[in-house]
Structure 1
Amino acid sequence: MSQNQIKEKVLNIIRDHKIGVLSSVENNKPHSRYMTFFNDELTLYTPTSGKTEKIDEIEKNPNVHILIGYDNEGLGDSYLEISGTSKINDSNELKDKLWNESFEKWFEGPKDPNYLILQIKPESIRLMNNNGEPPQELSL
């Protein structure tokens, strides 16, 4: 599979799957939770509260790992393993762009100071379980 084909498949999985698992590091151990992801090409964004543990974890160690894409249709479902670095992005423009009414459970609105966006820049992306092929790495 060519790098262009891998990238196309990766982008399709990211666009089609909004829920994934974000793992950060807490006390030198992985700490995982489900998150909602948005993307701009290969850069991922996920909303979070400034009051959560993950903010402290990422400030101490920005390395994160994401699993996204599994369809629950069988053992051969394609998914991605993404390793990267995360930083807090509190740009009002980005917060407005990503705002969704479903966030009202946690935030008073897009101007809520606790409403933050984690921005994840991938360092490696592996396409897993793609039609029985071995894992494919996207060159970044």
Structure 2
Amino acid sequence: MEAKIIMEQNLAKIMDRNEFCSFATIEGNRPKQRYMRLYNQGLSIHLVTDRRTHKVEELKENPHVSLLLGYEKGGTEDAVEIEGTCSISDDDELREHFWKPEFEQMFSGPKDPNYVILKVKPVRIECSSSSGEKHEWVE
């Protein structure tokens, strides 16, 4: 059990150092990816989006998602693949917590009904270090 906690802490540190991720949903029966800013608190993963986007509709149809992060300039040399399920939240506390002034370009404020938080619940995480070492975390 202690090894799993240490691994979770290491994964959280890697996510902390990667500002962006590739976020994949399923559109029909095909994967669809886009880059998004990553917000995490430990292994709790959040993304900010507009309720009117296609990804919100895709998630209503199929909540299974995949994220890929790492190997980016300014990020880590580790690559992290995350499989999970995603829910759409308009919880006022979460929206206040993640609100940033730069969001004013798209939203009127943290109470804007189109401003939503995507909550990703990981079920499997695979981390590959720059030295080729691989680790797997499973819920």
Provide the TM-score with structure 2 as the length reference: 0.90
**1:121 aligned residue:** 121
**Does 1:18 pair with 2:19?**
yes
Q: CA deviation at 1:87?
A: 0.5
Tell me which amino acid in the other structure corresponds to 1:132.
G
**Per-residue Cα deviation, 1:66-104 (whole angstroms, up to 9, x for no partner):** 01122348xx92021000000001100000000001111
Unpaired runs of at least 5, structure 2:
none
Tell me which amino acid in the other structure corresponds to 2:131.
N
Q: CA deviation at 1:15?
A: 1.0
Unpaired runs of at least 5, structure 1:
none
Cα contact 1:39–1:45 (8 A) shared by 2: yes
SS of the equivalent of 2:8 reads helix
- Give, in whole Å, the separation in 1 of the partners of 2:73 and 2:129: 12
Cα contact 1:6–1:127 (8 A) shared by 2: no
Tell me which amino acid in the other structure corresponds to 1:129.
S
**2:100 aligned residue:** 100
**Per-residue Cα deviation, 1:88-136 (whole angstroms, up to 9, x for no partner):** 0110000000000111121111011100000000010001134221x21
Q: How does 1:1-140 map to 2 (within 5 A)?
A: 2-72=3-73, 77-133=77-133, 135-140=134-139
Cα contact 1:63–1:86 (8 A) shared by 2: yes
Cα contact 1:3–1:139 (8 A) shared by 2: no
Provide the TM-score with structure 1 as the length reference: 0.90
Could you say what the CA RMSD is over the residues aligned between the two structures, in angstroms?
A: 1.7
Tell me which amino acid in the other structure corresponds to 2:65.
V
